[in-house]
Amino acid sequence: MQRLLGRLRDGSLVQLGSYVGGTFAPAKSARTFEVFDPADGSVLGSVPDMGREDVDAAVGAAEAAFRSWREQPAKERGAVLRRWYDLVMSNQEDLATIMTSECGKPLAEARAEVAYAASFLEFFAEESRRVEGCVHTPPSSSKRIFTIKQAVGISALITPWNFPAAMITRKAAPAIAAGCSVVVKPAEATPFTAIALAELSRRAGVPAGVYNVVTCSRANAAEVGGALCEDERVKKLSFTGSTAVGKQLMAQCAGTVKRVSLELGGNAPFIVFDDADLDAAVDGLMASKFRNAGQTCVCANRILVQEAVYEKMTKLVLERVQKLKMGHGLEQGITIGPLISDAGASKVEKQVEDARAKGAKVIFGGKRKEHNFFEPTVITDVDASMMCVEQETFGPLVPLMRFKTEEEAVRIANNTKAGLAAYIYTRDLGRSWRVSEALEYGMVGVNEGIISSDIAPFGGMKESGLGREGSKFGIEEYLEMKYICLGLGKPIDGLPSLP
């Protein structure tokens, strides 16, 4: 623990317990698990390894808090979120340091993520007052019909390691703004970021029980996730992670018919047409592909380049990739950190070997380094039979594919069960509309490689998930619509009736 604390200005952000009912506490079993720095394998510290009993306590605390929190005026809920935002931003450097230490992303990227995470607190602090019902035209003069929106209830939020701050606030902020209480289950690789956010929520005045954090090891993840899904008091589940796990959680929620939001895997096509601004396309590719060493669900996974510009695009990409600097994310000038785990690095390694065996050429990188590092890699002559095309990579691998026509590009892009994000580069306005509408993806970047924003609805189609996060639509995921029909009785004599 001292290793991590020594990197911080405010060591009290790193607490020794999970956060339940306004208190940092150990697991009821007293078990803990270690958290590692993926860049060098060193132990950062230990956190509680919670189980079913701890989930029961956290849900109980959330249930008690929900009764009063939902009755608070929306303006007051927004004010609490705004204070939380201010505290996150004033502790940006420490939060970024914690994040880099446990997930490996370069410090500059971690700082950007803290600001991105804070933006959801700010946005939904304001959005809390914009939840509106509707008055409907009645079918007769003796009735009045209207709808109202109410908090759905206790919400379980299961978040990933690749954006350990932003994926929490993108879920928790709209839930809390709507009047819900939440139980967060962070990824086992990045619990300290979640704990630090909990400490800042406490300082901001988020009432005890409204925001709870349950940490657990990978060995206990199925037990904790199952307990959240099966508990009848929990009315909503939001999950970001792999498609396989998302399907399991969705099935487990069926028994209690929970509201479910899922943001699952991607296999994003990045399509470069022959009329594109190639310099802009390379800028967009570098931003999309290599953020967090390629470990993002919206990162460019299949790079489709039209034949006429394939060689030139390849040359420009190679020049840029060669300038990337790999190392520990806390070191100055580092642009590529480690992959999160041995399994993550092994997956990239297998994809490179598979592509080479099937005829692709590795023109840069292609080698695994010590610990969990993998060289930024560029592969040419890639085709649809290769694993790097069929699967989401989650690593710093650029597979370059050729295509001839617009129709072929769309066919290749849509030939996947995933449908989260896609990117196209073209100067043709008509083509930008045609292809955007033809792509079976929830989000499309046109001449833009970074598409995430607090004001935009984030989510996918097909097996990439259900629902949307962020934007004015994000709070709807935590609201129930109620229809009320009011009978007026007999009309007042002498007054005209409604038509």
- Asked whether the beta carbons of 118 and 445 are under 8 A apart, the reply is no
Burial 472-491 (b: 16+ CB within 10 A, else e): eebbbbbbeeeeeeeeeeee
**Backbone phi and psi for residue 362, each to the nearest 5 degrees, phi listed first:** -90, 105
Burial class (CB in 10 A: 0-12, 13-18, 19+), 205: middle
What's the rounded Cα separation, in Å, for the pair 376 and 363?
A: 11
Which residue stretches of 212-330 are H helix? Answer: 218-230, 243-253, 278-290, 310-321
- Asked whether the beta carbons of 140 and 157 are under 8 A apart, the reply is no
- Cα–Cα distances in angstroms (integers) from residue 413 to residues 123, 244, 267, in the given order: 33, 21, 9
Q: Is 229 a catalytic residue?
A: no
DSSP character at residue 402: E
- Asked whether the beta carbons of 417 and 403 are under 8 A apart, the reply is no
Q: Which of 102, 263, 463, 469 is an active site residue?
A: 263
Q: Which of 297, 375, 388, 406 is an active site residue?
A: 297
- Cα–Cα distances in angstroms (integers) from residue 211 to residues 35, 65, 155, 189, 318, in the given order: 22, 9, 10, 20, 46
Q: Is 253 a catalytic residue?
A: no
What's the rounded Cα separation, in Å, for the pair 78 and 129?
A: 8
What's the rounded Cα separation, in Å, for the pair 210 and 179?
A: 9
Q: How many CB atoms lie within 10 A of CB 64?
A: 15
The amino acid at residue 3 is R
- Catalytic site residues? 263, 297
